[in-house]
């Protein structure tokens, strides 16, 4: 029996190692490329370890793309705004679906989930016309204001987590003279740290990596996001592979930092959201 368990454990570790190699391979190659000279990237057969090791790709990146620092700050600003907006509105609506009593609650929740099946391309033209008519084109408003109208995906996540919290907390709050707002702000939110952090991470990453929306709604290069800036680098310097790798690395750093910093809360939030 012990031998069989040992074989099973060995097999699992082998599969995990293979999976790790599959996912970490492109990252290692990215790191190797950004530390090479341009001539080294065209050597055949290719070498993983750069010799000599150089950081000149970063200096060329900021010299060639002078707006790179501004694009990074723009992406940070919009991503943080969207993360906070997602927590505020989606959690409030999810609280209504999870803790209030209404005959139409289930029907309305199904309608909200059904909107997830609508492709974003279907609403693109109407949204473009609307934002152009009201003067929002070439501003950050089309990228931020819709988030404050809530997102069905995050409503679902928050609702599932809220339903894991015992309803006896609500009854105790009512006995103490509280109301729905008291339950939401004083009871539910303080107990929802994992899903709040998970929602913020998801919203931050979705916004940070979003290429389509900034490309459509923003024309000025000074207002652009990092995702579109990377495409501009590829268009202007497609032969400079180390510089493109350096730009891609800068785009990955915030996502890696925010994930590894809040990894425990992120995992807890996702797991707890699926209990029900």
Report cis status (omega within 30 of 0) of the bond before 45. Answer: yes
Instruction: Confirm whether 35 is domain-assigned.
Output: no
Residue 13 lies in a domain: no
* 46 located within any domain: no
Domain that holds residue 93: 60-273
Over residues 146-169, the pLDDT tens digits come to 888 888 889 988 988 888 888 888
Q: Look at residue 47 and tell me if it is in a domain.
A: no
Q: Which of 48, 71, 32, 52 is nearest to 242 (CA)?
A: 32
- Cα distance between residue 272 and residue 160, in whole Å: 8
Residue 127 lies inside a defined structural domain of this protein? yes
Residue 113 included in any domain: yes
Instruction: Tell whether 15 is covered by a domain.
Output: no
Q: What is the value of pTM for the model shown?
A: 0.83
Number of domains forming the structure of the chain: 1
At 112, which CATH number?
A: 1.10.3720.10
pLDDT in tens, 57-112: 888 888 888 888 899 999 999 999 999 998 999 999 998 888 888 788 888 888 88
Contacts of 235 (CB under 8 A, 6+ apart): none
Please give the backbone phi and psi of residue 155, each rounded to the nearest 5 degrees, phi first.
Answer: -60, -45
Q: Is residue 16 part of a domain?
A: no
């Amino acid at each position: 029996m012990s031998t069989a368990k040992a074989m099973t454990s060995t097999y699992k570790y082998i599969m995990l190692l293979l999976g790790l190699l599959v996912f970490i391979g492109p990252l290692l190659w990215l790191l190797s490329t950004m530390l090479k000279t341009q001539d080294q990237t065209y050597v055949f057969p290719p070498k993983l370890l750069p010799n000599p090791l150089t950081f000149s790709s970063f200096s060329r990146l900021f010299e060639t793309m002078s707006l790179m620092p501004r694009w990074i700050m723009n992406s940070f600003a919009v991503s943080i705004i969207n993360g906070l907006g997602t927590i505020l509105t989606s959690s409030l609506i999810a609280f209504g679906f999870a803790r209030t009593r209404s005959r139409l609650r289930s029907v309305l929740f199904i309608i909200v989930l059904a909107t997830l099946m609508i492709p974003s391309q279907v609403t693109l033209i109407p949204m473009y016309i609307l934002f152009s008519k009201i003067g929002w084109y070439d501003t950050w408003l089309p990228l931020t204001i819709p988030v404050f109208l809530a997102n069905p995906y995050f409503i679902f996540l928050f609702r599932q987590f809220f339903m894991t919290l015992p309803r006896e907390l609500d009854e105790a709050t009512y006995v103490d003279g509280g109301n729905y707002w008291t339950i939401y702000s004083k009871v539910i939110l303080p107990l929802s740290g994992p899903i709040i952090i998970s929602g913020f991470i998801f919203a931050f990453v979705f916004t940070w990596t979003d290429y389509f929306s900034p490309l459509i709604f923003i024309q000025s290069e000074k207002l652009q996001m990092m995702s579109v800036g990377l495409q501009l680098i590829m268009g202007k310097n497609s032969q400079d592979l180390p510089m493109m790798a350096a730009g891609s690395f800068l785009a990955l750093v915030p996502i890696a930092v925010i994930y590894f910093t809040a990894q425990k809360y992120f995992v807890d939030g996702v797991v707890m959201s699926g209990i029900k």
